[in-house]
A and B are shown apart, each in its own frame.
Chain A
Amino acid sequence: MTRTRTTALVAVAVAAATALAACTSAGSNNPGGSTGGGGGGAEITELKAGVFLDVTSWDPASADIGFDGPYLSAVYDPLVALDNEAKPIPALATKWEWSADRLTLSMDLRTGVTFDDGQKFDAAAAVANLKHLKAGVRSGQAYLNVTDVSAKDEDTVELKLSKRDDSLLYFMGLGRSWMASPAAIAADALAKGPVGSGPYKFVADKSAPQSQYVFTKKDNHWDSATYPFKDVQLLPIMDQTASFNAMQSGQLNAQFANAANLPKAKEAGWNISSKPSSWVGVQFADRTGAQVKALGDAKVRQAIAYAFDSAGILQAVGNGAGTATNQLWPVDGKVYDKSMDGKYQTNMDKAKQLLAEAGYAGGFSVKMPMSPIFQAWQPAANQTFGDLGIKVEWVDMAMPDYQKNAPTYPMFLAVIAMSGNDMATLSDQVTTAQWYNPNPSVDKFPEVKALVDEVEKAEPAAQTELLKKLNTKLVDLAWWDVWYQADNMYFSAKGIKVQPVTGMMFPTLRFIQRG
């Protein structure tokens, strides 16, 4: 009797589940069914992208470039956009011109554009936006050299610079020139919701903040042809397993992917794209030896570079998604020199010899910060430093504290976003103080200083060759110990193609096309 009842109960439960599935599948937003990716053979009209992180802020001045691009690009137009090669191209600024001394940038603006609240886009609006962006906590970094912004006429703005800045247009295109309604800026209302002129309208009543953002395409946007999808859903999904499951089930048709799932993605027949995004290795914050004298000796830094098995770490920790290299200009760029990658082939004997020559045969002691994000690389670092006789005392901290405190340590493990623009790489990674480059110390190295000056004064056409020389010098000095450049990977259903852009953790919507 009991057995019969139990069996009946199980049967009822299964029947209920089946009925539930049957009665609700019509309402499901899963056109691809369990085959994943959605779309099938028909033309996909809705993009459903798993973006990894939630939008930081709808205020372009407070937003991050990293994962905010797709969200902001739906609702805002930029002054400057980037093409597939990360070169600045016109958007709301239809053309621009530098003065002979490259200290004044004049921009002609598109006319006939209005913001969602009815405000007109013109030079006054652009000035209000640029001033807002310059004052912004996160966006301000792009405008460090901009001293003044003014309207020359109704559709022309002029930016005055204190110092030549060859990466300004790149940063504007990367996500630092989104134009918002000047009225919303004045009312400090952007943090609560976007007010832009972008290609999509934010559908607030179908969106669930922090979970799902729904956008629908505007009929009359000036750049409508660039955006093929009628509807867009952006879903921040931090857990990579959940994101992959959503992709497999068809709840997503594009995602920020984990390289560990590559075989399954190939099996599913999805489109796969990837591009270098971050460099991984050891940042020497104390190249002058102010804190730890040993690190001021190039031979010690070179010894560390020789000691690490970069290719092994890339395979073991990075799932092989990237390129083992000792350089941090992108491996698919013009400055990168493949022939230099052999310079620090793993050689522990050579590493110990260099340490001995520097007078540190017995190693030395150093404190390094550690946070959960970097723990994947900690065993390799422990073993390698241990083999060299370098005694590391790890100081544990949470990630926000890591960013705050790492700059105060003589060296630290680093996973640093790269730039798709060569001059931006120079500025970001070499000459400008950042949390991840706290002591640029270029002035303390005359040969480096001379090369940097030469690059910064050269005509743009000549800069690549000079940057190559600088790159060679920095590798020779073991300026960093780069282990590898990690790729960002994206899976998308057949019918959708994601074009990755170095510098954007998730590309803006103009880089997601049919294909």
Chain B
Amino acid sequence: MFSFITKRLLSGILLLAVVTTGTFFIAHLAIGDPTPGLLGNSATPAQQAAMRAKIGVDRPLLTQFWDWLSHAVTGDFGTSWRTFTPVNDDLALRLPVTLSVVFFATVLSAIFGVIIGIACGLRPGSVFDRVLKFASVVLFALPGYWLGIVLVQLFALGLGWFDATGYVSPEISVGGWLRSITLPSVALALGAIVMIAEQLRNSFLEVNNQDFVRTLRARGLSKRRVTRHVLRNSAPAALTVLAMMFVGLLGGAIIVELVFNLQGIGILTQQSSQNGNIPVLLGLTVMTVVFVVVINLLLDLVLGWVNPKVRDR
């Protein structure tokens, strides 16, 4: 197990190094001179030069990279070129917003995806199964933006159950926090629920037809115990989808953030790109890659627990 985790961590560190190095140079090459985005176009050449000196982009690119890297390994991602506050402060402000929504969406997806997936897997071709098929097509076709607006109209403006926009920190009010993240999480989760349910259902059917299941049934095991065996063997596919979904939502929650006015990392990424705020972009990149590595590691551990054969690969 130790060697398994060590290997995964080393490959994660390598991934982190490659992605952040690539992002650093690509961002600098793509943005070029960040001062117009930061100062506007009324800045004089002297003011632009002063800003370049202040943020250190007047130095050779390799010097800048070494400076950034040597601080980044200590957890210091530098200072935002826009607000001149630590990048870590920006991330600490935005990350809980996106994480709250994405984590809640993942929990909803896991619970409902598994329940629906098993229900359909147990009764393929039933009305419920056909409804799932139809829902998969519809929910994949519906734009997230539209879905968010409909949820707001129905449950925030119509019924008044939830907040239409904004984020409430759980430190201020746990109830307020749940009210503020429920609709965006549901908007994110709806598509994921059917994706996981569909994946689990197909995997469930495939395993259900395998010889060992027939053997279990022939040995007279109860339907419940057989289902547990089938589920254990069909879970890896759905778990992989769930993990991929979490990472995907983390980077792709911007539409939902816009609809619900949640100041999360999606909007921060967009704003930083527009302003040419490279330190924040790099901080976001590192954070996202760390999440990818951690989620993949957790996935591997869970898969290994569900199916011990995986640990040996």
Contacts and interface: CB of A to CB of B under 8 A. Distances in A.
A21 B36 contact: no
A403 B42 CA distance: 10
Interface stretch (A205-213, A287-295, A503-511): A205-213
Nearest to A192: B85
A211 B167 contact: yes
Given A27-B175, A208-B263, A211-B166, 18 more contacts: A17-B155, A17-B182, A20-B161, A21-B179, A28-B176, A210-B94, A237-B165, A238-B267, A242-B164, A243-B261, A245-B152, A246-B165, A248-B164, A249-B156, A249-B165, A398-B274, A403-B41, A435-B41
B164 A191 contact: no
A239 interface: yes
Contacts of B263: 208, 210-211
A342 interface: no
A242 B258 contact: yes
B164 A251 contact: yes
Nearest to A34: B160
B39 A239 contact: no
Contacts of B252: none
A138 B39 contact: yes
A27 B176 contact: yes
Contacts of A27: 173, 175-176
Q: Which 9 A-B pairs have the closest CB atoms?
A: A24-B175, A435-B41, A249-B164, A21-B161, A400-B37, A211-B263, A245-B164, A242-B261, A34-B160
A434 interface: yes
Nearest to A436: B41
Contact of B119 (A2, A24, A434): A2
Interface in B241-284: 258-261, 263, 267-268, 274-276
B38 to A, nearest CB: 9
B149 interface: yes
A137 B43 contact: yes
A212 B44 CA distance: 32
Nearest to B48: A137
Interface residues of A, number: 49
A36 B164 CA distance: 11
Contacts of B155: 17
A137 B40 contact: yes
B130 to A, nearest CB: 15
18 contacts: A2-B128, A20-B182, A21-B160, A24-B173, A27-B173, A28-B163, A137-B40, A137-B51, A138-B42, A212-B166, A239-B259, A241-B259, A242-B261, A246-B165, A249-B163, A249-B165, A400-B36, A404-B41
Interface string B39-65: 111111001000100000000000000
Interface in A1-25: 2, 6, 9, 17-18, 20-21, 23-25
B173 A141 contact: no
Interface string B93-137: 110000000000000000000010001001100001000000000
A64 interface: yes
B259 A242 contact: yes
A435 B37 CA distance: 13
A316 interface: no
B24 interface: no
Interface string B50-92: 0100000000000000000000000000000001110000000
Nearest to B268: A210
Contacts of B196: none
Nearest to B259: A242
A209 B268 CA distance: 12
Q: Is the interface of A mostly helix, strand, loop or mixed?
A: helix
Interface of A: 2, 6, 9, 17-18, 20-21, 23-25, 27-28, 30, 33-34, 36, 57, 64, 137-138, 140-141, 191-192, 208-212, 235, 237-239, 241-243, 245-246, 248-249, 251, 398-401, 403-404, 434-435
Contact of B40 (A237, A246, A248, A403): A403
User: For this complex, into which size category does the number of interface residues on chain B fall?
Assistant: 35 or more
Nearest to A247: B164
B158 interface: yes
Given A2-B119, A138-B39, A245 B161 contact: no
A239 B43 contact: no
Nearest to B51: A137
Contact of A400 (B115, B258, B274): B274
Contacts of A30: 163
Nearest to B155: A17
A192 B84 CA distance: 7
B37, B41, B259: residue with the most chain A Cβ atoms closer than 10 Å: B41
A192 B182 CA distance: 33
B221 interface: no
A24 B259 contact: no
A82 B305 CA distance: 70
B204 interface: no
A57 B40 CA distance: 12
Contacts of A17: 155, 161-162, 182
B236 to A, nearest CB: 25
A34 B128 CA distance: 35
B143 to A, nearest CB: 13
B189 interface: no
Contact of B276 (A23, A138, A140, A400): A400
Contacts of A400: 36-37, 274-276
B303 interface: no
A397 B157 CA distance: 38
Contact of A249 (B84, B93, B157, B258): B157
Nearest to B169: A208
Given A138-B39, A239-B258, A21 B166 contact: no
Contacts of A241: 149, 259
Nearest to A22: B161
Nearest to B149: A241
A141 B39 CA distance: 13
Contact of A242 (B44, B165, B275): B165
Contacts of B165: 237, 242-243, 245-246, 249, 251
Given A24-B176, A239-B258, A400-B274, A246 B164 contact: yes
A403 B39 CA distance: 11
Nearest to B123: A2
Interface in B164-223: 164-167, 169, 173, 175-176, 178-179, 182
A35 to B, nearest CB: 10
Contacts of B156: 34, 245, 249
A414 to B, nearest CB: 13
A342 to B, nearest CB: 35
A191 B157 contact: no
Contacts of B160: 21, 25, 33-34, 249
A212 B160 CA distance: 21
Contacts of B119: 2, 6
A21 B156 CA distance: 10
A123 B143 CA distance: 59
A20 B183 CA distance: 13
A34 B41 contact: no
A33, A57, A245: residue with the most chain B Cβ atoms closer than 10 Å: A245
A24 B42 contact: no
Contacts of B176: 24, 27-28
Contacts of A24: 173, 175-176, 178-179
Contacts of A23: 175
